[in-house]
Each structure stands twice: as structure tokens, then as C-alpha cells.
Amino acid sequence: MADHLDVRIQKSQTAIMKAGMELLSKNREASFSDIARAAGVGRTTLYRLYDTREKLIKAVAIHCLEAFDKATEHLESEAESALQAFHLMFKAIFPLSAEMEFLMKLGDFDEDDPELTAIYKKQENEIATLVEYAKSEGSLSKKLPTAWVVNLTEGLLYTSWLTKNSESIDDDTLADLAFHTFCHGVAR
């Protein structure tokens, strides 16, 4: 019986995360009633799991950040080089456009929330480690500051999200464009 209840709670949480991403991305002030209705759960269930808007927003943000971790966890074992890991990273992340949109619209993480900040910093440090590895293998210039390349990578993710929302470009093409830009810039 407890397993059945756990499955129902998990299913409800998944539906709430999806509805929360969608509705809160469009309107940060979306009501709990609207989110519950979109998730197919009762308001009571939503309030029992997340009793404040801030807790729900934080839970959705953590869900989104963890989706990036899950999507990229295979990179180390599949990539034959650091440069290929960047390409695989772009390909893994771009299908997560709903998660990316939520985080982009959320803006900077509240520095008062150590949990969100820690997850984000961990991901940023993982990209920095990949940059350092690419420098050591000779596929990235050692003259470029690591922070520059990390910010460039995040900028390409943001640019791809903006482009996907304004044009009909599929995820694989966006990943290839981002990787090409990462490797060659925009000059001819």
C-alpha cells in the first residue's frame, strides 16, 4: 500500500513540476488553482506538497537544474575528447527547452537560497573543469580565461533558447550551430 501511495505522490509531483514550469514561465503569479488544474491534481495536494509559491518555484528550479545533470551525466563516458563533450552537452541540453525557459525567466538565482546556488555553482564548476580539460588536450586556447569560456557556453545556451522561440529550428540543428559557433566563432 505504501508503494502505491509513493507512486501516486511521485506522479503528482511530476505533473506539478511540468505544469509549474509551463504556467510560471508564462506568468510568475499563476495561481495555485491554475497549476493544480493543469497538473490534474487537487489544490489540497499541491498545498500539501508545496505550501508556498516560493517553495514551489524553488522545487521547479531544482527539478530543472537536476534535469540538466541527468541529461549530461553520460558525457564523460561517451565523449572521446573534451571538445566532443561540449558537442554532446549541447545536444543533451537543447531538448530541455521548457526547463531552460523556466530558468531563464526565473533570472539570477536568489543568493539567499544556498541550495539553488550550490547546484548552479556545481554545474558551472563542471563546465569549468571541462574547459580546463579542453585546454590541456589542446582543443581550446590556453589564452582564453576559463570564466570567459564558461560564460560563452552559457551565452550559447541562452542564444539557442531565444532562437528556438523565434524560429523553427530543431534541437539537433541548434546544438550543431552552438557547437560550430563555440569552435569557430561567427567570422568567415
The pLDDT of 124-145, averaged and rounded, is 95
Locate all alpha helices (DSSP H) within 50-145, ordered by sequence: 53-72, 75-78, 82-93, 97-106, 114-137
CATH number of 53-184: 1.10.357.10
pLDDT classification of 4: cutoffs 50, 70, 90: low
Distances (CA, A) of 184 to 58, 119, 138, 187: 37, 30, 15, 8
All cell numbers assigned to 58 = 524553488
pLDDT digits (tens, 9 = 90+) for 99-132: 988 888 877 655 678 888 899 899 999 999 999 9
pLDDT band at 90 (very low <50, low <70, confident <90, very high): very high
Please state the length of the chain. Answer: 188
4 or 104, which is more confident? 104
**Portions of the chain given CATH number 1.10.357.10:** 53-184
Q: Is the pLDDT of residue 97 over 70?
A: yes
Task: Write down the pTM of the prediction.
Answer: 0.85
Backbone Cα Rg of the chain: 19
Write phi, then psi, for 64 (nearest 5 degrees): -65, -45
Residue 131 has a pLDDT of 96
Locate CATH 1.10.10 in the chain.
1-51
Query: Which DSSP category does 172 fall into?
Result: H
Integer Cα distance of 115 and 112 in angstroms? 9
97 close to 161: Cβ distance less than 8 angstroms: yes
Q: What is the pLDDT of residue 3?
A: 60
123 or 8, greater pLDDT: 123
Instruction: Tell me: pLDDT of 167 over 90.
Output: no
Q: What are phi and psi of 30, to 5 degrees?
A: -55, 140
Instruction: For residue range 74-88, list pLDDT tens digits in order.
Output: 988 999 999 999 999
Higher-pLDDT residue of 39 and 168 is 39
CA angle 66, 70, 76 (to 5 degrees): 130
The single residue listed with the C-alpha cell 524553488 is: 58
Q: In whole angstroms, what is the distance from residue 183 CA to residue 174 CA?
A: 14
* Angle in degrees, 0-180, between the axes of helices 82-93 and 114-137, rounded to the nearest 10: 140
Are 70 and 35 contacting, i.e. CB atoms less than 8 angstroms apart? Answer: no
Q: Is the pLDDT at 164 greater than 60, yes or no?
A: yes
Domain 1-51 in CATH 1.10.10? The answer is yes
- CB contact burial 2-13 (16+ within 10 A = b; e otherwise): eeeeeeeeeebb
The per-residue pLDDT for 109 is 57
